[in-house]
Amino acid sequence: MRSARRKRRSKRLQRLGLILAVAVFALDQISKPWILSVFEDRFQAIEILPFFNLVLVYNRGVSFGMFTNDLTHGPYLLAGLAVVIAACVWWFLLRRCEKTIMAIAAGLIIGGAFGNALDRLLYGAVVDFLDFHAAGYHWPAFNVADCAIVVGAAVLVFDGLFGGAKPLKE
């Protein structure tokens, strides 16, 4: 009886993670063609709030423009790496996830990783467009997928530190 209940809970968590991954991926992929259409004839940032602009940046690097490369196969290598990481997180979701918060984190990371991987294949870079700034300092531009990955990773870290995680039993 306990095992059947545990399997049902595991299936619910897997479904939750998958639904969230698909939602993040869809929102990310809807936002990018939209921003590309907004900037079709424009080269300047669009001020939305005194601390927030819409911009168009093609990120050929890893995260926040770090490790930018102009290698011919760079986008394919980085897209492949993102897919491998997403697959590992998916494996975790299928095999080890026992808490709702972990399913949410996994779904966020998977959806974001696939969103950015598809960008690299379609555009040769990740399309970033959210630009926050204050006192002359700008945070590197980012997108919906980046937000999901960062929030998912922060949730994993927070849960690992403060979530009362139980050691895994083999």
pLDDT in tens, 83-96: 898 888 888 877 77
The predicted structure's pLDDT at residue 6: 81
- 50-105: per-residue pLDDT in tens? 999 999 999 887 554 444 555 556 667 877 888 898 888 888 877 778 889 989 99
Cα 105 to Cα 153: distance, rounded to the nearest angstrom: 7
- 124-160: per-residue pLDDT in tens? 899 999 999 999 898 899 999 999 999 999 998 998 8
Neighbours of 35 (CB within 10 A): 18
- For the chain, the domain total comes to 1
Would residue 167 count as lying in a domain?
A: no
Would residue 139 count as lying in a domain?
A: yes
What is the distance of C-alpha 135 from the center of its chain? 28
Average pLDDT over residues 22-38: 96
Would residue 168 count as lying in a domain?
A: no
Domain hosting 11: range is 2-162
Would residue 127 count as lying in a domain?
A: yes
Range with the poorest average pLDDT among 46-50, 88-92, 120-124: 88-92
Would residue 170 count as lying in a domain?
A: no
Which residues are catalytic, by number?
Answer: 128, 146
The predicted structure's pLDDT at residue 165: 54
Q: Give residue 125's region: left, alpha or beta (phi > 0; psi -120 to 50).
A: beta
DSSP letter at 137 equals: E
The predicted structure's pLDDT at residue 12: 92
Would residue 169 count as lying in a domain?
A: no
Cα 113 to Cα 91: distance, rounded to the nearest angstrom: 14
pLDDT grade, residue 116 (50/70/90)?
A: very high
- 156-169: per-residue pLDDT in tens? 899 889 886 555 55
